[in-house]
Every structure is written in C-alpha cells, then in structure tokens.
A = this chain, B = another copy of it.
C-alpha cells in the first residue's frame, strides 16, 4: 500500500497569513501524533502574502481522514475558519510511488 500525499492551500484574509500559519503549526503538533502521519508542514510562497500551504504525507488516506477526529483538531479548524478568505480549495492528492525521506 503506497503512502498518501496531500498538497493543500488555504487563502487568508488580508493581513491574516501569519496568524493562520501559527494555528496550522499548532495543529501540526497534534496531527503529527495521529496514526500514520509522516509529514505535516506549513509553508508560504515567496510572492504570495495571503496563502498558506500544507504538505502532508500519511501511510494511507484513511489515516489522514481519521486524523480529523483527533481531539483538538476540530477546535483548531474552527479557530482558523474565520481567518479564511473563502472556502478551502480541494487539495491535490498524490499516491507516492517511491523516493526517500519518509
């Protein structure tokens, strides 16, 4: 069974990128304890002052989906939602074929 990679992008309201990133970094501490979590990193693009990117790797999509039930995650998602400039776009889902580092 191959690992599951999810590339997500959230767009913050003007001036809220930093706060949104902070909440997601806080979330990464909880989510990374969930079964099957290999990577959960938060990033930004050099030329983009609103978007926050999340790159996740899981042992499986099921493990990822289960992690949304981990205590504390829903509260952080609720904390982040008011900072968003519109609904989150659907993330890019990839099947990992091989490589190094996980």
Which of A's residues lie within 8 Å of B, judged by CB? 3, 5, 7, 21, 24-25, 28-29, 31-32, 37-46, 52-53, 55, 57, 92-102
Q: Would A39 and B95 count as touching, CB distance under 8 A?
A: no
| Alpha-carbon distance A44/B96, docked complex (angstroms) | 7
Which chain B positions have C-beta within 8 A of A3? 41
- Looking at the assembled complex, report how far the CB atom of A26 sits from the nearest CB atom of chain B, in whole angstroms: 9
| Alpha-carbon distance A99/B39, docked complex (angstroms) | 8
| Alpha-carbon distance A4/B60, docked complex (angstroms) | 25
| Alpha-carbon distance A4/B24, docked complex (angstroms) | 18
* Besides A5-B43, A40-B99, A45-B94, 19 new A-B residue pairs in contact (Cβ under 8 A), listed by A number: A25-B97, A28-B98, A31-B100, A32-B99, A38-B101, A39-B39, A39-B100, A39-B101, A40-B101, A41-B96, A41-B98, A41-B102, A43-B94, A43-B95, A44-B95, A45-B95, A46-B93, A46-B95, A55-B94
